[in-house]
């Protein structure tokens, strides 16, 4: 994180608008804007003015953000398909955490102002450690029941999870990066890559990452096995076994139209449906491989899932705060990274992206 970003984070943390900081540090607002955007170098005398305005030493401003501070305690970081990332995973982790810190801080501040904090409760907190496919199926069944889905399709998955207290953020990265999850104190965080526009894949990734957050695995469990368990959990959440069995009348053959019908209703990809059939032993893994090869010859005849699945709670709180006069337009601009000149109801309703 560069010094401009650091100044911005400190300003937001202190609850200052750019104008507030400008007055306290005896600068013009445009100076603060240029400092934060990296368009103007900061002289040592100017750094001293900023330090005095923040009420801290210059060394504290120059110190990198500590992601294990009391305000931002990361634990249980999980990457999906991290081994495929072109760049070094440690570097990529720091990059994602830098972006996450910025957005999480803005989100948390907005929630405090609006008195809209949500405490997430893990319905599976007392569930046994995962050691088999049967454990995974049972965990998904319990969660569906507790969240009152029963055997119905899960529509608007992101909105549902956001309203439970799961914070979901979007990034645009190399397609090798699929998803990321972690806990910030007691708040579950999921980061998804929107480079791919496949909504059914996005839904699957979110539930895969949710599995990392909610399930407890045996110590020293093989990582590949954990990934398979998380995939199975995502499939079981999207498409319960009883429902899949009711759709499939034959284990000898299946038509593209049958698969498309399931996909369009339950928001799960055709390939994931085939994996699901093998997981619950409707077909053998050998049969799965055969059908998978056939599916690849069908891909040009596949359909898109019509669900939207975009993050929206931050934008909703921002619009509500402005409407009720709880936040100023200046602060809304700072929290959302939307320039004041573009700050309108249409801009606020855009997705909250990194």
Is residue 164 within 8 Å of residue 154, measured between CB atoms?
Answer: no
CATH of the domain at 5: 1.10.260.40
> Is 163 inside any structural domain?
no
Q: Is the CA virtual torsion 107, 105, 112, 21 positive or negative?
A: negative
In this prediction, residue 202 carries a pLDDT of 92
- SS in 3 state form for the chain? CCHHHHHHHHHHHHCCCHHHHHHHHCCCHHHHHHHHCCCCCCCHHHHHHHHHHHCCCHHHHHCCCCCCCCCCCEEEEEEECHHHCCCCHHHHHHHHHHHHHHHHHHHHHHHHHHCCCCCCCCCCCCCCCECCHHHHHHHHHHHHHHCCCCCCCCCCHHHHHHHHCCEEEEECCCCCCCEEEEEECCEEEEEEECCCCCHHHHHHHHHHHHHHHHCCECCCCCHHHHHHHHHHHHHHHHCCHHHHHHHCCCCCCCCHHHHHHHHHHHCCCHHHHHHHHHHCCCCCHHHHHHHHHHHHCCHHHCCCCCCCCCCCHHHHHHHHHHHCCCCCHHHHHHHHCCCHHHCCHHHHCCCCEC
DSSP, collapsed to helix, strand or coil, labels residue 191 as strand
> Is 318 inside any structural domain?
yes
> pLDDT tens, position by position, for the chain (354 residues)?
578 878 887 887 777 888 889 999 999 988 888 888 888 888 888 888 998 998 888 877 877 655 555 556 555 566 666 556 555 566 666 777 777 877 888 899 899 999 999 999 999 999 999 999 999 999 999 999 999 998 899 999 999 999 999 999 988 877 777 888 888 888 999 988 888 788 999 999 999 999 999 999 988 888 889 999 999 999 999 999 999 999 887 777 788 888 999 999 999 999 999 999 999 999 999 999 988 888 878 777 778 888 889 999 999 999 899 889 898 888 888 888 777 777 665 445 554 444
Name the residue range of residue 42's domain. Answer: 1-64
Is residue 78 within 8 Å of residue 212, measured between CB atoms?
Answer: yes
In this prediction, residue 78 carries a pLDDT of 62
> Is 239 inside any structural domain?
no
Last residue of a domain, one of 64, 87, 116: 64
| pTM given for the model | 0.77
Number of domains in the chain: 2
> Is 180 inside any structural domain?
no
> Is 70 inside any structural domain?
no
In this prediction, residue 11 carries a pLDDT of 83
In this prediction, residue 58 carries a pLDDT of 84
> Is 72 inside any structural domain?
no
> Is 321 inside any structural domain?
yes
Buried b vs exposed e over 201-229: b needs ≥16 C-beta within 10 Å?
bbbbbbbbbbbbbbbebeeeeeeeebbeb
Radius of gyration of the chain measured on its C-alpha atoms: 23
> Is 15 inside any structural domain?
yes
Last residue of a domain, one of 44, 64, 84: 64
Last residue of a domain, one of 32, 48, 64: 64
């Amino acid at each position: 994180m560069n010094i401009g970003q650091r100044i911005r984070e400190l300003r937001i943390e202190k609850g200052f608008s750019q104008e507030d900081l400008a007055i306290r540090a005896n600068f013009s607002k445009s100076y603060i804007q240029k400092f934060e955007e990296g368009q103007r170098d900061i002289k040592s005398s100017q750094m001293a003015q900023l330090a005095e305005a923040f009420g801290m030493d210059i060394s504290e401003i120059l110190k990198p953000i500590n992601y294990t501070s009391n305000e931002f305690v990361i634990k249980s970081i999980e990457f999906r398909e991290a081994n495929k990332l072109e760049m070094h995973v440690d570097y990529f982790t720091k990059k994602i955490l830098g972006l996450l810190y910025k957005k999480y801080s803005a989100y948390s501040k907005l929630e405090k102002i609006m008195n809209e904090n949500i405490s997430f409760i893990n319905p599976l907190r007392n569930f046994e450690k995962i050691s088999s496919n049967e454990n995974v199926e049972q965990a998904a069944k319990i969660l569906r029941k507790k969240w009152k889905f029963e055997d119905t399709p899960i529509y608007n998955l992101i909105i549902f999870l956001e309203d439970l207290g799961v914070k979901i953020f979007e990034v645009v990265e190399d397609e090798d990066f699929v998803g990321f999850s972690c806990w910030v104190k007691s708040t579950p965080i999921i980061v998804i890559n929107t480079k791919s526009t496949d909504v059914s894949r996005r839904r699957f990734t979110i539930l895969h990452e949710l599995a990392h957050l909610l399930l407890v695995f045996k110590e020293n469990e093989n990582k590949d096995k954990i990934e398979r368990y998380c995939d199975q959990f995502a499939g079981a959440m999207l498409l319960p076994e009883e429902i899949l069995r009711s759709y499939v009348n034959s284990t000898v053959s299946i038509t593209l139209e049958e698969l498309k019908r399931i996909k369009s209703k339950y928001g799960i990809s055709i390939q994931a449906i085939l994996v699901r059939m093998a997981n619950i032993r409707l077909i053998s893994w050998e049969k799965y491989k055969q059908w998978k090869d056939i599916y690849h010859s069908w891909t040009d005849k596949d359909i898109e899932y019509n669900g939207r699945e975009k993050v929206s709670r931050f934008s909703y709180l921002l619009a509500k705060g402005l409407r009720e006069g709880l936040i100023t337009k200046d602060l809304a601009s700072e929290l959302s990274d939307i320039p004041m000149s573009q700050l309108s109801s249409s801009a606020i309703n855009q997705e909250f992206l990194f």
